[in-house]
Structure 1
Amino acid sequence: MAAHKKPQRGHRASRPEGYYKGLRQKLADQGYTQPQYAPATLRNLRGTWKKWTRYCEEVEEEPTPFLKGQNAADYKVFCQWVLDNCAGVNMHSSLHEYWRQLRMLYQKHANDWMPKNLKDDVNNYIRDLTITDKLVKTPPKKPVLSGDDMYVLNFHHWVHCKRVYPDEEQRIGFSLLLKFAASTGARPVSFLDASVKVPDEDARSTTRDEAIRFYDPDKEDPADDDGGEKADFDASELPPEEDLMSVLFEHVTIMLARVEGREELVMYLTLIHTKGEDRKPQPKTFRIYQHENPLLCPILEMISMGFAGNAWAASTVREPKDILLARIPKRKNCRIFRWKEDQWEEPVFREPERSKCGNSPSRSSKPVRAATAARYMKRLGLEAGIEATLTHTCIRRGVGNAVNHRAPVATRNQVMGHSRSQIFQSYINQDVEFDVHAAYLDDPSDTAVIKAMGNMSLTRDPLAPTKLSPDDALAIEQHATVVKLRQQRDALTKRIEQVRRDAGPCENEEEVLLRQLRNDTQAKLLRKRKQLQDHKQKKARKRYFMENDTRELEYDGDLSLKDEDEAKPAATTYALEERACIASMLCRPPVICTNPALWSSDAS
């Protein structure tokens, strides 16, 4: 079990005479103490500040004095401006979020709360806009990932997935992350580096919110940097890995425990980093035992991660059977498999070492970023044929609803990390999980049917499109913005070549500036392409799931039911013999997840 580090406080400072009197006057002059926002909140505030600045340019006002003016009409017009100029704002909640962030900006600049009557006035106007502009008030569908869905995803990940990871250790690590999330219901910040990359000084807008700049987390925590090279970089100045907001090896303990005369492989998982830990830390330890289904057992994959990192302290532990076949001395009730001391503060989920030649087999000490895991998760859901977008929150909702049925409210709040019971209403399953019809008729309920009807994988279709059609790809390349950015990039490239020919082998200042402009244009082009690709793909998949069943039924006799090979995934060729062995062991129909007894308990 992980030991919590107790911070050591130095000796109390000796204050000079009159210090507290001067401090009192200083704090009185300073006024309201600004809150410390999370990096993600600061990023959102920067976006709102940019929109406020653009709005001020149109009405010919200075941003800061205009914000502090306390004129309700100015804030109301800003809400209307957001609806007119931000194409993605079509929900009441989105518009209200902009208003909430604008109040936070007012609080920073005015050093005071916005008057309540002013807030109520603008809130009433937003309600009127919701009606006149026909904004959507119905909350979006909130998918809930069940245990059966987790089995389907793991089965596809190990047997049918053809995607290439930086190295195969990342495949194991991602599978372990899914199981850790399903075993704890924790947020990504508990396992991964969820820090937000803050743009540097050159990349930011020239008109910025100085109040936000004052709380720039880059100046307080270098762990927020995303690996960009700096001239004064010193590895000794890196913060402890615990500051990187990731789960470490010291937070995981694997042991063999004697329970009622038998020996069981168990694991303790301690989560140190939680949401709001700077205000009220709430570390918690989860107890996990070996599952007889290898696809759902996190202990086996954690053992694999230990061997991949050469992390086991005992020199006799050279292969998995040394752990799986170990025995407990009669005088003891457990045997703990310790990690090497130099591995205690290493992240469990680590990025591969990057180099010019590709990924090095050696591992870095940099934890996997939450954005990387989110990309893997979304990709897995697409390839597995899941209709809804797969996110970490889907797993968290599934865990919360499962615990809600079996545990008291206090335990549910502890697992979910909620300070108040009302917060769980945001996670509760929108599909009623109780058989109301059977209860009303006083009939026995078919719980298996009710459970299956709530699975995300119920509507999955492996034939759903995962790539753009040629017509969609051509439409993206012919999009007006893409064409314009591509022409700008090509023109800058030609200009760079001309300057290079005129200047000779030495790079001059003009060429450096042109290269920067070309790189910025290329980045904008890639972002626009990705935005259009995501939109086209989402639209194509939605159309497929809406129309495919009808299209299949219109065939004479429903040919899709007769052609059994149609829905079968293409044969997968495995580059590694080890993965082929795992796939052959796991290659059984997903329906057997309801009968774990069919699996052998011999995990070796």
Structure 2
Amino acid sequence: MQNLSLNKGSSGHSFETGTCSEESDYTGPVEDSRDSDSDVTLVDALDGSGDEDLAWLLPKATHSPEYYLQQLEMFDEHEYTAQDYADSTTRLIDRMEDQWNKQLRGTKFASSLGTYWKVFRLMYERATDVKIDAKINRSMHKVLRKLAKEHGLKKIGRDKACMYVEDLAKVLQTNLTTTEKRYPHGRYRIQAQLYLQLGGFTANRPSALLGLCYRHIQVSLLRDPEDGPHRVMLEFTFEFTKQYLGIKDMNTFPLPEIMYDETLSFSPHVFLLGLLFCDRAFAAYNLVSAEDLSRLTIPPGRDQLPLRLNPLLDNIPVFRKAVRTVHGWDISPDEPLPYPTLLPWIRTLGEITGFAQVTRPYSLRYAGGKAFNENGKPCDLMQDTKLTYYIGNVSEAMQNLMMGHASIGTFLRHYLSRRITVDTQAVVRGIQPQTALMRAACTMSRSIDHRRPRRLTPEQSASVNNDPLVRSLLDRREQLKRTIPDATKHPKYKALASKINQERQRQRHALLQAIKERWEFEQPVRDVEQQLAGGRIKDDPEPVHYAMPPAQGELADSILSQPGTTIEEEISRRNRAIRAVTVCCGIEEGGMNPIRKAERSRNAALPAKSQAGYEEEALESAKISVFTEERPRIYFLCLGNEGLPLAQRIYAFHAPGDLSKHFRRKHLKHIQSGKVLNCNLCMVPLPDKMHLQRHAQEVHGTVSPRHSYNCC
């Protein structure tokens, strides 16, 4: 199992050098007892305070007048007078400048014109240090409307699809149980689950969630004021939010543990505690498991027991990226998970769930903001002998604080969905609104249909080669092959091959979108016609089932288990789930796409009978095969990696040459300089890449590709 120790990570790096992000140099204004309008200078204030202070203020090293004149000439005033944009805004402006004077594909939406104009204003200001006149800016809106009308641009914005709690429950379950979506490392599945939970409960921006470090988390055992069992309290402080017009104060979200919850898939406590135990993050050296947590209690006279995290991990991100190593995939000790890695996870999980809408990380923020907004309305007055209070307890000010908005207008303009969720006819007629039906009509789950096409067939994918542009590019590449010796290594050939791949990808994406749009209209029509003709609608296709790693199976079983009837059973249920999370954080899933035919045999399920005996026999047979004189088809490093599923460890390639290609692409290519390697089958260290290649050929018969031999 991969653990983070106090001083070193799983890859042997020191945590003292790891940072979540650059520390800000910003300091607030310092209060001074002297009047700010006083003529007293710093030297006057230090007069008589001792030679040490004067020595600090006036160091012995002095410079000539020419030195200071040179410093004045080198001073760049623009660095301090220019607008201080966020890194993302700067990247956007740079990207727009790179596209200047280039022929680009057009746009279909009028809103895009407004976006381009806003970015152009920023580019103009950065280049000239002068803002575009306000009168010109107002006049430009008329020009944009005219252009949109002339070119027939659509005047609709992007749908702000909300992932309500009903939708989130389905996505969370899909992430736990699907074998169609494979992550490179098991921790990625846990991180995806935790991100979805925190994004749904706090409605924070993706950058704030991905920037979460261990110093932003407080864990404590809290006494229940209603005499229930002690609860685990998690408190998250989000630091990396938008900082327009200065650094903002940080918001802290407390999340109490829910006992006897119907499902643990919504429990951030289970998943975060599993991560903390995997990383050995608690300051108490012997708090290393869920069972240790269950033995803790709150002393009499106190209401909480803080569970401090180790300060050496303060700057370590909770969400971290996976990196390639010679043995496969490993979790980086200090590199944060990039947003471009997270984005396709959320989109793919939504597709597997069956949603028609594209799911994005911001779908959680839209839904969370709407839930906060609706919760602020008084509802269902609850009566008590002493207290009368409202269930709705989110005021407008609290909503703005949680969302990080200056006013409610930001939420109305940019976050609130344009889909009306109120039963307007019931309101106007004064009858009981159909709340449940209206809620169901506005969720993503309404569109679930597993028949919806999600990828191109091999025939459809190959059809893009018939496109005239692709055809002409292919002809040019063939011409280069005939005219240039050893053309595949020529820069022109490589550039043309890259252009062909990009054009193919663009054509495939456009074809898939056209197929989806056509299906959305034609399939319901076919269903209606089939029903009226007396036919039977075909059932949804059977979901794709591949061999589930044992760790994932235990994770799904423990998280989806029913709540216990006693407090002991409930604690045992929670501990089992935390253990499953910790184990899952230490395995590799491989990141393979099980849809590819070439890899189906690798994911084939093992025989049901005598499972343990079969696994032991298969392992022994595979180990014997990598010590023979003939070139093997099983890779010895994968076979010795106990973190991989058995099917991947004993996988036999079609030919020894395929094994050599795998050796180069997946292992030799990712060897880090200066890192000591090991053969887990022979239990011998391998100092460098050259020793690994020699050991692979002389002991295990695995031949390296010819151009892979080099000194490291």
Could you tell me the TM-score, scaled by structure 2's length?
0.62
* 1:396 equivalent in structure 2: 365
- Cα pair distance change 1:585/1:88, threshold 3 Å: farther
Say which of 244, 249, 263 aligns to 1:282. Answer: 249
Task: Provide the C-alpha distance between the structure 2 equivalents of 1:603 and 1:561, rounded to a whole number of angstroms.
Answer: 45
- Cα pair distance change 1:431/1:316, threshold 3 Å: same
- Cα pair distance change 1:574/1:47, threshold 3 Å: same
Task: Provide the C-alpha distance between the structure 1 equivalents of 2:559 and 2:164, rounded to a whole number of angstroms.
Answer: 20
- CA-CA distance at 1:488 after TM superposition: 5.6
For the 8 Å contact 2:159–2:417, the answer to whether it is kept is no
Task: Provide the C-alpha distance between the structure 1 equivalents of 2:290 and 2:196, rounded to a whole number of angstroms.
Answer: 21
Q: Which amino acid aligns with 1:256?
A: L
Cα distance per residue 1:435-468 (max 9 Å; x no partner): 2211222111232212111111111112222211
Alignment of 1:459-498 (within 5 A): 459-486=447-474, 498=486
- Cα pair distance change 1:338/1:30, threshold 3 Å: closer
- Cα pair distance change 1:388/1:160, threshold 3 Å: same
1:307 aligns with 2:277: yes
1:33 aligns with 2:81: yes
Greater displacement, 22-31 / 466-475: 22-31
1:180 aligns with 2:151: no
- Cα pair distance change 1:556/1:420, threshold 3 Å: closer
Q: Which amino acid aligns with 1:529?
A: R
* 1:603 equivalent in structure 2: 574
Q: Which amino acid aligns with 2:133?
A: P
For the 8 Å contact 2:111–2:156, the answer to whether it is kept is no
* 1:337 equivalent in structure 2: 307
Cα distance per residue 1:479-525 (max 9 Å; x no partner): 3444455556667778886389xxxxxxxxxx6xx35x555444444
Task: Provide the C-alpha distance between the structure 1 equivalents of 2:214 and 2:545, rounded to a whole number of angstroms.
Answer: 37
SS at match of 1:36: coil
Q: Which amino acid aligns with 1:178?
A: L
SS at match of 1:433: coil
* 1:237 equivalent in structure 2: none
SS at match of 1:336: strand
1:159 aligns with 2:177: yes
- Cα pair distance change 1:105/1:252, threshold 3 Å: same
- Cα pair distance change 1:98/1:499, threshold 3 Å: closer
* 1:98 equivalent in structure 2: 116
Task: Provide the C-alpha distance between the structure 1 equivalents of 2:77 and 2:570, rounded to a whole number of angstroms.
Answer: 71
- Cα pair distance change 1:120/1:379, threshold 3 Å: same
* 1:217 equivalent in structure 2: none
SS at match of 2:207: helix
- CA-CA distance at 1:128 after TM superposition: 1.5
* 1:450 equivalent in structure 2: 438
1:265 aligns with 2:232: yes
For the 8 Å contact 1:552–1:558, the answer to whether it is kept is no
For the 8 Å contact 2:530–2:536, the answer to whether it is kept is no
- Cα pair distance change 1:265/1:561, threshold 3 Å: farther
Cα distance per residue 1:279-309 (max 9 Å; x no partner): 2323111011224220111111001111232
For the 8 Å contact 1:255–1:335, the answer to whether it is kept is yes
SS at match of 2:574: coil
- Cα pair distance change 1:30/1:453, threshold 3 Å: closer
For the 8 Å contact 2:298–2:305, the answer to whether it is kept is yes
- Cα pair distance change 1:573/1:520, threshold 3 Å: same
Task: Provide the C-alpha distance between the structure 2 equivalents of 1:417 and 1:31, rounded to a whole number of angstroms.
Answer: 28
* 1:581 equivalent in structure 2: 554
Task: Provide the C-alpha distance between the structure 2 equivalents of 1:377 and 1:126, rounded to a whole number of angstroms.
Answer: 34
* 1:541 equivalent in structure 2: 516
Alignment of 1:133-212 (within 5 A): 133-192=151-210
- CA-CA distance at 1:181 after TM superposition: 0.7
Aligned length: 495
For the 8 Å contact 1:254–1:265, the answer to whether it is kept is yes
1:550 aligns with 2:525: yes
Say which of 109, 131, 137 aligns to 2:149. Answer: 131
Task: Provide the C-alpha distance between the structure 2 equivalents of 1:411 and 1:36, rounded to a whole number of angstroms.
Answer: 28
Task: Provide the C-alpha distance between the structure 2 equivalents of 1:28 and 1:173, rounded to a whole number of angstroms.
Answer: 44
CA RMSD of aligned residues (A): 3.8
SS at match of 1:265: strand
* 2:387 equivalent in structure 1: none
For the 8 Å contact 1:158–1:582, the answer to whether it is kept is yes
Stretches of structure 1 lacking an aligned partner (at least 5 in a row) = 55-84, 193-245, 501-510, 594-598
1:48 aligns with 2:19: no
- CA-CA distance at 1:252 after TM superposition: 1.4
SS at match of 1:191: helix
- CA-CA distance at 1:140 after TM superposition: 2.8
Q: Which amino acid aligns with 1:141?
A: D
- Cα pair distance change 1:307/1:398, threshold 3 Å: same
Task: Provide the C-alpha distance between the structure 1 equivalents of 2:148 and 2:124, rounded to a whole number of angstroms.
Answer: 24
Q: Percent identity?
A: 19
For the 8 Å contact 1:161–1:383, the answer to whether it is kept is no
Task: Provide the C-alpha distance between the structure 2 equivalents of 1:539 and 1:461, rounded to a whole number of angstroms.
Answer: 18
1:375 aligns with 2:344: yes
* 1:250 equivalent in structure 2: 215
- Cα pair distance change 1:519/1:399, threshold 3 Å: farther
Task: Provide the C-alpha distance between the structure 2 equivalents of 1:114 and 1:382, rounded to a whole number of angstroms.
Answer: 44
SS at match of 1:555: helix
Task: Provide the C-alpha distance between the structure 2 equivalents of 1:316 and 1:6, rounded to a whole number of angstroms.
Answer: 34
Higher helix share: 1
Greater displacement, 340-349 / 292-301: 340-349
Say which of 402, 405, 412 aligns to 1:418. Answer: 405
- CA-CA distance at 1:347 after TM superposition: 0.7
Greater displacement, 95-104 / 322-331: 322-331
Cα distance per residue 1:134-193 (max 9 Å; x no partner): 22222232211100100010111111342211111111011111111112111111122x
- CA-CA distance at 1:399 after TM superposition: 0.3
Cα distance per residue 1:553-602 (max 9 Å; x no partner): 322479997766x3552445312x232123335569xxx99xxxxx9684
Task: Provide the C-alpha distance between the structure 1 equivalents of 2:439 and 2:204, rounded to a whole number of angstroms.
Answer: 23
- CA-CA distance at 1:333 after TM superposition: 1.8
For the 8 Å contact 1:248–1:348, the answer to whether it is kept is yes
- CA-CA distance at 1:337 after TM superposition: 2.6
- Cα pair distance change 1:330/1:389, threshold 3 Å: same
Task: Provide the C-alpha distance between the structure 2 equivalents of 1:493 and 1:356, rounded to a whole number of angstroms.
Answer: 35
Q: Which amino acid aligns with 2:315?
A: E
- Cα pair distance change 1:499/1:125, threshold 3 Å: closer
SS at match of 1:574: coil
Q: Which amino acid aligns with 1:306?
A: L
* 1:220 equivalent in structure 2: none
Greater C-alpha Rg: 2
Task: Provide the C-alpha distance between the structure 2 equivalents of 1:562 and 1:31, rounded to a whole number of angstroms.
Answer: 67
For the 8 Å contact 2:354–2:449, the answer to whether it is kept is yes
Say which of 399, 404, 409 aligns to 2:396. Answer: 409
Task: Provide the C-alpha distance between the structure 2 equivalents of 1:113 and 1:438, rounded to a whole number of angstroms.
Answer: 51
SS at match of 2:521: helix
SS at match of 2:329: strand
For the 8 Å contact 1:552–1:559, the answer to whether it is kept is no
Task: Provide the C-alpha distance between the structure 2 equivalents of 1:12 and 1:559, rounded to a whole number of angstroms.
Answer: 95
SS at match of 2:431: coil
Could you tell me the TM-score, scaled by structure 1's length?
0.73
Q: Which amino acid aligns with 2:503?
A: K
Q: Which amino acid aligns with 1:270?
A: T
Task: Provide the C-alpha distance between the structure 1 equivalents of 2:480 and 2:307, rounded to a whole number of angstroms.
Answer: 59
